[in-house]
Structure 1
Amino acid sequence: MTMTVRDFRAIDAEAVAAARQAAFPYLVTTPRTVVWESENAPVEQHYRLLVAEADGQVVGACEMGVFHDSGEAGLAFANTTVNAGARGRGAGSALVTAAEEYLSGLGTAKIFAWTLDEPGSVTFAERRGYRRSRCSRVQRLDLTTADLPPLGAGGAPDGVELRTAADFADDPRPLYEADAECTEDEPGDVDTTRLPYAEWLALSWGHPALDRELTSVAVVDGTVASYSVAHTDGGGRYWSGMTGTLRAFRGRGLAKLTKNDSLRRARSAGCREAFTGNDGDNGPMLAVNKWFGYEPAATEWRYVRELSA
């Protein structure tokens, strides 16, 4: 078998999407999102997508770049996926080696990588000198059978207006301000700074998987108080991109309200499966998702390698 590692080309999008879906079947990944992410990454991120080609067939991929929005310099990411039938033949090692060489050349001090909690993936990471960090709990809700709680006769409590992201098409800045505050409170192993509005417009508002009609927003006295972002793949899969409530409005059940409204919209639109991922220490959202009836689907671990070591 002849193994080649090279840069991604648009013609590879379908194969890369298939590799990602094989490794992480709950994510909203399509050929379109693969191409879009490759073409629209910020220059400062130094994003690069490599593919492993075996005997003329793309069997795996690795996306990499630096956390340009982190307050700590020298942090990077490299996430590798290989088709199930091609594992154990060197594709993963070739991709990770190439990624480490590239990121090292950018002055990277630490590389973060997501790994499924399964023996093969964990062993692969630890043998390469990566150590375990935080975990993410992936959960699944069957929308065809889910008993979603009623929204109430009025749809929302007094003083709360339920809207969608599509209603903010002319001026999405209120959603940006809410997202910026809520993201600051998200637990994680990489602290990030607030994205400039223009960059948020490009990366979040303009993402092809974002479904604005299914993204629900709770407005209180004219202020965006809570929201639940919906990403869809057009094939029945729904991913919760983010559910957040501004600090001044927490404790009022608005996260449940917006997520409930979004899930109901998704089911009406033909979505059959809803997935979400939460940091293992994010107790409030884990409790919210359990309340909805989500069940465990997978555990991911963030692994980190210090290049100086």
Structure 2
Amino acid sequence: MTVIVRDLRTESRADLEGFARVRRLALPFILYTPESLVHALTRTHPDARFRSLVAEEEGEVIGTAQVSLVHDSPEPGQGLVNVYVRPDRVRRGAGGLLVRTAEEYLAGEGAVKLLSWVLDAPGNRRFAEGHGYRSSRSAHFLRLDLSGGTLPPLPAPPAGVELRTAADFAADPRPLFTLDAETSADEPSDVDVEFTDYEAWLAATWRHPLLDRELTTVAVVDGRPAAFTAAYTDGDGRYSTAMTGTARAFRGRGLAKLVKNASLHRARAAGCTEAFTGNDTGNGPMLAVNAWLGYELCATEVRHVRELG
């Protein structure tokens, strides 16, 4: 049977559902929907040169790739290649064909270093190493059962701290952009990013179809957003933390723990049954917060890097 690689067709519901299905089977810890896939293709900054690829066999989507330049990093020439194949359709050449197509595209766009997240399993790591990628830092996926598990009690906010939601900032979300930009810059990663384009943030982040503004929780101190946790939901009982951060001036006061706990309580009340999050393995403070909340490790991924040329 012949495998072909082509661009994802946003006008094809079958394509979008096939892509989302592959990702849910191969990477069930991250939320994908047809709407979020369209959003990524149409709202990602043009400088990222973003593409979504599918590997197709006999009319069925069996593999996927999301490919882009790291346009918001002060280090130029970095590209992202994230490839996932249906677990029951591996060893058919789909993964290798997706990688080659992605690498050729990014090299043509000026990339000199490629980065790829790879699940920490022997077969996945062998595949990456066989294509010239070397392992770098790692991150954990964590899961929390909201249907049967228990959450820590939700205390009253400390004096001077007010809990609000992202929906309260609908008229002017710029303060959340400022907080997101500061905290993202400090997030442990092998790729430095700088959020400087407010309009691009509005398009890609604030208007993301999975962003649940009622569950996204913000701690406000003296009128200033000081900490937040961004919540994604997929309408199927699944909740995911997209980002949690505290402004530098307010760290060490337990605000990240406060907003995450409050958001999870709201999520459970809204009918969410399972929650996912992820942390760099070197991010001890957030791993400790998530352990306190009851999250359990469900998988690990390892960043792999390949230098071109």
TM-score range, shorter chain: over 0.9
Q: Which residue of 1 aligns with 2:4?
A: 4
Give the whole-Å Cα distance in 2 for the aligned partners of 1:307 and 1:271. Answer: 43
SS at match of 2:282: coil
5+ unaligned residues in a row in structure 1: which ranges? none
Q: What amino acid is the match of 1:8?
A: L
CA distance in 2, matches of 1:268, 1:107: 48
Q: Does 1:102 align with 2:84?
A: no
TM-score, normalising length from structure 1? 0.97
Counterpart in the other structure of 2:124? 121
- Rounded Cα–Cα distance in structure 2 between residues aligned with 1:103 and 1:160: 46
The letter of the residue matching 1:67 is V
The question of 1:82 aligning with 2:85 is answered yes
| Corresponding position: 1:27 with 2:30 | yes
How far apart, CA to CA, are the structure 2 residues paired with 1:245 and 1:219?
A: 11
Instruction: Write the distance in 1 (CA, Å) between the matches of 2:196 and 2:61.
Output: 34
**C-alpha distance in 2 between matches for 1:85 and 1:161:** 48
Give the one of 140, 145, 151 matched to 2:154. 151
Secondary structure at 1:64 match in 2: strand
Residue equivalent to 2:212: 211
Misfit runs of 4+, over 2 Å: none
Aligned length: 306
Task: Give the drift of 1:296.
Answer: 0.5
Shift of 1:194: 2.1
Q: Deviations over 1:53-111 (max 9, x none)?
A: 11221111111010000111110001111112211010111110111111111121111
| Within-5 A mapping of 1:131-170 | 131-152=134-155, 155-170=156-171
Give deviations 1:38-65, integer Å, cap 9, x for gaps: 1212110011111111122111111101
Structure 2 unaligned blocks of 5 or more: none
Structural mapping, 1:214-233, within 5 Å:
214-233=215-234
Query: What is residue 237 of structure 1 aligned with on the other side?
Result: 238
Give the secondary structure class of the aligned counterpart of 1:27. coil
Q: Which residue of 1 aligns with 2:200?
A: 199
Q: Which amino acid aligns with 2:161?
A: V
Give 3-state SS (helix, strand or coil) of 2:215's partner.
Answer: coil
Which letter maps to 2:244? T
Aligned CA RMSD, in angstroms, stands at 0.9
Distance in structure 2 (CA, Å) of the matches to 1:270 and 1:164: 18
What amino acid is the match of 2:20? A
Deviations 1:256-286 (A, max 9, x none): 1100100000000011111110011111000
Q: Tell me which residue corresponds to 1:252.
A: 253
User: Normalized against structure 2, the TM-score is what?
Assistant: 0.97
Which amino acid in structure 2 is aligned with residue 7 of structure 1? D
SS of the equivalent of 2:188 reads coil
- Whole-angstrom distance in 2 between the partners of 1:43 and 1:15: 25
Structure 2 counterpart of 1:188: 189
Shift of 1:195: 3.2
Rounded to whole Å, the distance in 2 between the matches of 1:13 and 1:124 is 26
Q: Give me the whole-angstrom Cα distance separating, in 1, the residues matched to 2:218 and 2:269.
A: 17
- Please give the secondary structure, in 2, of the residue aligned with 1:104: helix
- 1:298 is aligned to 299
